[in-house]
């Protein structure tokens, strides 16, 4: 199997080694045309045909399979599951799910936003604010300074607290959450606008 190196392949995608499909991926198509590699069509619009020699761009829409042995004529979306079944039956592969999730830093060094309900204790480490002490309410008497950090970090009345576990002096988190955290669920409030026994959001 020939192997080619391309600077457009994402190392974080899968194993970093991917199958090239010049007829159905525009970057692979341009790479193949540049280096004279074969372009093999396996999906065509229903009732039509594609000639690799005259194609000006990759065909990236849905269609039916051709040159795919006993999968010919199937819709490409339906064929995905059939091909996986076939590979499993033959012992040639198995289905799996790849998640492309990455760590997301939700903290913001600013005053507005929902407080992050975490307390830091020298003895107990990172301690969540107990449910009965929620919500953490932002103070309203802060002096806003342009110093490149949240004014919460200067409010001893806000950040100096007792550890919920051991009772010793501890420090409250002074970052607030990214507003995307709130806006990803605040629409739920529309379904129960009069319900005030659980957290709601004031951020948009």
Digit-coded pLDDT (tens) for 30-75: 999 999 999 999 999 999 999 999 999 999 999 999 999 999 999 9
pLDDT at 86 (0 to 100): 96
Cβ neighbours of residue 127 closer than 8 Å, sequence gap 6 or more: 118, 119, 120, 121, 163, 164, 165, 170
* pLDDT tens by residue, 127-141: 999 999 998 999 988
| Span 64-119, pLDDT tens digits | 999 999 999 999 999 999 999 999 999 999 998 877 777 788 888 888 888 999 99
The predicted pLDDT at position 199 comes to 56
Distances 11 to 14, 158, 194 between C-alpha atoms, Å: 8, 44, 49
Q: What is the CATH number of domain 1-99?
A: 3.90.740.10
Which residues of the chain are in CATH 3.90.740.10 domains? 1-99
pTM over 0.85, yes/no? no
């Amino acid at each position: 199997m020939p192997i080619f190196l391309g600077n457009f392949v994402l190392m974080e995608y899968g194993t970093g080694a991917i199958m090239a499909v010049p007829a159905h991926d525009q970057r692979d198509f341009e790479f193949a045309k540049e280096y004279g590699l074969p372009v093999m069509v396996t999906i065509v619009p229903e009732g039509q045909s594609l000639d690799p020699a005259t194609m000006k761009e990759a065909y990236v829409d849905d269609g039916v399979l051709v040159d795919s042995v006993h999968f010919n004529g199937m819709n490409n979306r339906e064929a995905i599951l059939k091909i996986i079944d076939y590979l499993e039956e033959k012992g040639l592969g198995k289905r799996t799910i790849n998640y492309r999730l990455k760590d997301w830093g939700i903290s913001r060094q600013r005053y507005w936003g929902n407080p992050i309900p975490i307390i830091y204790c020298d003895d107990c480490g990172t301690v969540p604010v107990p449910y009965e002490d929620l919500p953490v309410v932002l103070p309203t008497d802060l002096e806003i300074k342009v110093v490149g950090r949240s004014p919460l970090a200067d409010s001893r009345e806000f950040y100096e607290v007792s550890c919920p576990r051991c009772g010793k002096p501890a420090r409250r988190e002074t970052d607030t959450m990214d507003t995307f955290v709130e806006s990803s669920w605040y629409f739920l409030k529309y379904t129960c606008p009069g319900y005030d026994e659980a957290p709601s959001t004031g951020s948009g």
